Structure 1
Amino acid sequence: MSPELFWAFLAATLLISITPGAGAINTMSNGLRYGLKRTLPAILGLQAGLGIQLLVVGVGLGTLLASSELAFALIKWGGVVYLLHLGVAKWRERTVSPDESGMAGADEPALRRFATSVLVNVTNPKATIFLIALLPQFLDPNLPRPLQFTVMGVIMIGVDILVMCGFAGLATVIAGWLRSPRQQRLLNRLFGGLFILVAGLLASYRT
């Protein structure tokens, strides 16, 4: 990849990561409840999901999803149902008192937060279609394709980790201002509503 292509790809990757979506909502939701350190399993889960998406595109299965209405519909509606489930769960999530906040990470095991985040990214066929459209623009036909996909994947995952840590850190700061159960309840319902909104947007997406 030439220096020009590298900087263009880096800029595109940064823009993609910063753009609010299910992953960012998931990260900030975890950051508010668990703090930056305890949100790392969720962030790593998102990256595992992104890695699976990149692998799918790299081996050509992404093209199948783009061309097969049945395969796309199955993953799409699975993702819609899963995001709706997250939204309802967040809406109904109990509040945490200031005395409990230091133990909030015990509410949900780290492995479960990791698995939840993997599914948030994997069940988003729109991301697969987007990667199919984006990655070929930066491929050099004179270089081995697997190596190029690997390099681009490492860049995307590295950038997304930094951006998600930023989101989690911001959420952690905001959490310090949220002391009353009413404030926490409103925020839980805000993020629950955002998950449901993203589910609605995914449901309305057409290839």
Structure 2
Amino acid sequence: MITVSQLGAMILACVVLIAVPGPSVMFVVGRALSHGRNVALLTAVGNALGCYTAGVLVAVGLGPLLERWDLLFQVFKWGGVLFLIWLGIQAVRHAGPVGEPEAGRVEGASSRWKAVRAGALVGFTNPKNLVMFTVIVPQFMNPDAGNMVLQMILLGLVPLSVGLVCDSLWALTAATARGWLTGSAKRMTAVQRAGGVSVIAVGASVAVTG
């Protein structure tokens, strides 16, 4: 299947592509600043699942379909853009001082699911997915090893894992900065608004580059 040296090379390639701040990183950081550590970490989990789901769909043929049918691609793209902008506006509107429970804990299964779902949508619509699963992953596939779709699905676990680690580190870093800012109501409101604006910026960047 794949040797240890090839796996190392694949991990390195994934780190180079994923660690560079893009829509997913900006979104996770924005959620950390607006809502705190746990929401950001759940967002990172959702993002990884969304990216992997997109990769699996690419493996079974959605990638070529999106390339050939521009209308379907535009529906995916603009649906994600509008959702991001809506989330950013909500964060700006509801910015303000928060108590410790809200800052450090996600209340209820519904709230946890919303955080994961939001991250999944961003991950699913991230333009890096097409690059990852049509350029990077295929380089490490072996035609002589059998089922190519299965190979891509299994190898896709590598960028999923790398993305989850990288996004979680960004989330923890941003959440630490947020925790330091909670001592000032004005600064907390400002940083929450900045988080919301950054999410809107993610939507705008996807609109012009996706």
TM-score normalised over the length of structure 2 = 0.84
Distance in 1, Cα, partners of 2:205 & 2:30: 19
- Give the counterpart of 1:187 among 183, 191, 196: 191
Equivalent residue for 1:155? 158
CA distance in 1, matches of 2:173, 2:101: 17
Aligned to 1:173: 176
- Name whichever of 61-70 and 145-154 sits farther off: 145-154
Unaligned runs of 5+ in 2: none
Q: Tell me the amino acid that sits aligned with residue 81 of structure 2.
A: V
Counterpart residue type for residue 85 of structure 1? W
- Counterparts in 2 of 1:80 and 1:32: CA distance versus 1, 3 Å: closer
**How many angstroms does 1:199 deviate by?**
1.9
Partner of residue 200, structure 1: 204
Distance 2:202 2:179 in 1: 27
1:112 counterpart (104, 111, 114): 114
Kept after mapping to 2: 8 A contact 1:87/1:196: yes
Deviates more, 1:19-28 or 1:153-162: 19-28
Q: When the two structures are superposed, what TM-score results if normalisation uses the length of structure 1?
A: 0.85
Letter in 2 for 1:102: P
Task: Note if contact 2:52-2:160 (Cα within 8 Å) is conserved in structure 1.
Answer: yes
TM-superposition CA deviations, 1:134-192 (whole Å, max 9, x none)? 32222222223234213321111111121122112112221221021221222223222
Partner of 1:82: 83
Q: Which runs of 5+ in 1 are unaligned?
A: none
Give the distance between the partners of 1:38 and 1:205, measured in 2 at CA.
Answer: 27
RMSD, aligned α-carbons = 2.3
Question: Following superposition of structure 1 onto structure 2, how do residues 27-66 of structure 1 map, counting pairs within 5 Å?
Answer: 27-66=28-67
Do the aligned partners of 1:14 and 1:159 also contact (CA within 8 Å) in 2? yes
Q: In 2 relative to 1, CA 35–204 (structure 1 residues): closer, same or farther, beyond 3 Å?
A: closer
Please identify runs of 4+ aligned residues in structure 1 that moved more than 6 A.
none
How far apart, in 1, do the equivalents of 2:142 and 2:56 lie? 18
Q: In the alignment, is the contact (CA less than 8 A) between 2:23 and 2:205 conserved in 1? A: no
Identity %: 25
